[in-house]
């Protein structure tokens, strides 16, 4: 009845979009009724029955669909793209597949706490074509996670029939390759859905494992209302119309004399009244005009930085050792912290950062993962939803491309969309000058500084790396922590032995001078230091940014206004990099103080070559001195 109301309102232009679940209602209601109230469920955009079964107030749903403040996203997202911790419902993003990996993380948290709970996650048969589906099933199977993967096989992914999605007869067959128990359920029979899922859920609580549940069903409306169903053969629609789950259940109840027509009419009258009253309540709600300041303040969860000062007791160690020590001390401090990554357990990681961690913290907290960046980042998000911190090691920052979608569309947008933080640090070993070639040498920080909702940190020294990493782990927001491979074992420093923190957004002034400002970060800091050592007559302010989001523009502007000249050195290729935006900011804010154009020095516009003589030509470190002298001579 709610759906019928929505279809009328859609035609009247009072809501903008609707994904109808008519014909599939038994699955949402049956699965949700089989779960306990505090067990998480991750629905799709035609699973209204999940929300009504969990008794989410209709007025709030109606407000959500109108983009009003009483909804769940403050008008920032539409339809069912939202979650609510109050009702243990975690909404989808349009990319479909990622929520399957999120369910893995939620279930992992339950398992780590020895809670006998299941997590149910929905997808359509079309979504099983996505790599995220296969990654999520594999992770759940390998880790023995109590997840019910509920696949609604309604025959069409928008207009694409199943025969063009996969050739196996049943979606359930896809579980075989992952050693996963599978079941096929009549998705249009509420009694079969509830009875079967309830039995399975009870068994999974006792014997944790993932299950693949294929619900055979059919949607009677279009993928979304505007697309229609002209592509569906009429005889197929007629065949499934006879299997309508509500009409057939109603007939069964009447035949068994468990209900009467009069009682049905009473129910419908009460429901109609409830729908109308809640709709009127939502309509009366004022449209909230937010401010730019308010919108910006909701991109990140508030983080009250707690300074822990470094101790005087220090040891001379390398950058890689400082990161390892910082990770270890954070693991000791945070009992709810998990480290995940490829080869990080027994092997200690390809750079040996987590060597010895398995023995100290155990395999529950130091988790080797399959080779599936997307699924693991999604699982990290699920862990955050369910109360855990996580650090994910990308073997190389280049490999984040295999997990780009969840970083950009889950982690970055989560808090802004529905006030759910992503308490995750992605460790990003990066950079060239090590002869590693095009696939292991990128310094790709600019991909992420462009995306609101992500913090980006890039230390150049061991002391900074240790303190900034501690802050990154304390911060409840997603942080990408870049670690340059070329300075892992070549840069030593006296580093405080005990736990300490360093704030984000505060640059380090390494040298002070009067003629020019040099702004850089990462390996560029060491190239600039070497250049100044070789040319002691150059009087320069040398600024190590340390964090790129947030960015310490105050330190940069103050220096530029003093020296009148500025050169920005980055390892990344020139176009679209940090230097470009920083140059624009300096021009906009310090134009009258400039005695020369802002100068940028960066790598050339090619992929990163392997051979050393070619890599040297690619990198800017040799050209930097000439660019610096040219700027000083302007």
Q: Give phi and psi for 128, each to the nearest 5.
A: -75, -5
Encoded tokens for 152: 């609604």
The rounded distance, in Å, linking the Cα atoms of 402 and 135 is 11
Q: Give phi and psi for 469, each to the nearest 5.
A: -65, -40
Residue corresponding to tokens 């929300």: 51
Cα angle for residues 233, 239, 245 (degrees, 5° grid)? 125
Cα angle for residues 10, 12, 14 (degrees, 5° grid)? 65
Run of H or E including 543: strand 540-544
Chain centroid to Cα 278, Å, comes to: 34
Active site residue 440: yes
Q: Please check whether residue 61 is in contact with residue 43, taking contact to mean a CB–CB distance below 8 angstroms.
A: no
Beta strand segments in 41-99, E: 41-42
The rounded distance, in Å, linking the Cα atoms of 338 and 142 is 17
Beta strand segments in 4-137, E: 41-42, 119-124
Annotated catalytic residue, options 81, 134, 440, 526:
440
Nearest of 388, 127, 391 to residue 136 by alpha carbon = 127
The rounded distance, in Å, linking the Cα atoms of 280 and 300 is 34
Beta strand segments in 402-471, E: 424-430, 455-457
Q: Please check whether residue 458 is in contact with residue 315, taking contact to mean a CB–CB distance below 8 angstroms.
A: no
The rounded distance, in Å, linking the Cα atoms of 624 and 597 is 16
Q: Is 283 exposed, middle or buried (0-12, 13-18, 19+ CB in 10 A)?
A: middle
Cβ-based neighbours of 547, under 8 Å, separated by 6 or more: 455, 456, 457, 458, 468, 504, 505, 506
Catalytic residues: 440
């Amino acid at each position: 009845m709610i759906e019928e109301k929505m279809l009328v309102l859609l035609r009247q232009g009072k809501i903008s979009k609707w994904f109808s679940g008519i014909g599939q209602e038994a699955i949402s209601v049956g699965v949700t009724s089989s779960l306990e109230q505090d067990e998480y469920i991750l629905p799709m955009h035609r699973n209204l029955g999940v929300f009504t079964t969990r008794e989410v107030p209709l007025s709030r749903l109606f407000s959500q669909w109108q983009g009003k403040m009483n909804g769940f996203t403050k008008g920032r997202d539409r339809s069912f793209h939202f979650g609510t911790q109050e009702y243990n419902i975690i909404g989808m993003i349009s990319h479909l597949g990622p929520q399957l990996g999120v369910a893995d993380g939620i279930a992992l948290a339950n398992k780590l706490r020895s809670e006998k709970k299941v997590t149910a996650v929905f997808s359509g048969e079309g979504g099983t074509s996505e790599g995220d589906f296969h990654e999520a099933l594999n992770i759940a199977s390998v880790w023995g996670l109590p997840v019910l993967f509920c696949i609604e096989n309604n025959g069409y992914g928008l207009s694409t029939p199943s025969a063009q999605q996969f050739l196996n007869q049943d979606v359930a067959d896809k579980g075989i390759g992952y050693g996963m128990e599978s079941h096929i359920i009549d998705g249009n029979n509420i009694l079969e859905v509830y009875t079967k899922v309830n039995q399975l859920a009870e068994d999974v609580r006792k014997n944790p494992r993932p299950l693949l549940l294929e619900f055979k069903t059919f949607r009677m409306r279009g993928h979304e209302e505007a697309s229609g169903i002209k592509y569906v053969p009429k005889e197929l629609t007629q065949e499934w119309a006879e299997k309508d789950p509500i009409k057939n259940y109603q007939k069964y109840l009447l035949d068994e004399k468990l209900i009467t027509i009069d009682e049905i009419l009473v129910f419908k009258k009460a429901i109609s009244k409830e729908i109308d009253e809640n709709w009127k309540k939502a309509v009366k709600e004022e449209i909230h005009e937010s401010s730019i300041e308010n919108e910006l303040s909701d991109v990140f969860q508030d983080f009250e930085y707690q300074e822990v000062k470094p101790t005087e007791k220090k040891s001379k160690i390398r950058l890689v050792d400082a990161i390892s020590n910082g990770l270890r001390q954070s693991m000791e401090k945070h009992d709810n912290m998990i480290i995940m990554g490829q080869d990080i357990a027994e092997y200690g990681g390809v750079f040996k950062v987590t060597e010895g961690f398995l023995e100290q913290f155990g395999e529950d907290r130091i988790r080797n993962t399959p080779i599936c960046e997307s699924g693991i980042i999604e699982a990290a998000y699920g862990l955050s939803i369910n109360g855990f911190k996580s650090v994910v090691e990308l073997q190389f920052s280049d490999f984040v491309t295999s997990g780009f979608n969840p970083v950009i569309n889950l982690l970055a947008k989560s808090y802004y969309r529905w006030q759910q933080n992503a308490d995750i640090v992605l460790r990003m070993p990066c950079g060239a000058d090590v002869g590693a070639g095009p696939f292991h040498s990128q310094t790709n920080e600019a991909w992420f500084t462009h995306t609101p909702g992500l913090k980006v940190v890039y230390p150049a020294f061991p002391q900074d790396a240790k303190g900034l990493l501690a802050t990154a782990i304390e911060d409840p927001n997603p942080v990408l922590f870049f670690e340059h491979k070329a300075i892992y074992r070549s840069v030593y420093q006296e580093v405080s032995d005990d736990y300490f923190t360093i704030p984000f957004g505060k640059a380090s002034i390494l040298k002070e001078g009067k003629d020019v400002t040099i702004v850089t970060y990462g390996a560029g800091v060491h190239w600039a230091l070497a250049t100044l050592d070789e040319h002691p007559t150059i009087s320069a302010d040398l600024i190590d940014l340390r964090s790129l989001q947030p960015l310490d523009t105050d330190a940069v502007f103050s220096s530029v206004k003093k020296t009148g000249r500025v050169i920005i050195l980055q390892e990344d290729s020139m176009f679209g990099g940090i230097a470009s935006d920083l140059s624009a900011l300096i021009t906009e804010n310090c134009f009258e103080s400039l005695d020369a154009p802002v100068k940028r020095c960066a790598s050339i516009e090619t992929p990163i070559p392997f051979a050393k003589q070619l890599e040297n030509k690619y990198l800017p470190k040799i050209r930097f001195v000439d660019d610096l002298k040219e700027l000083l001579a302007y």
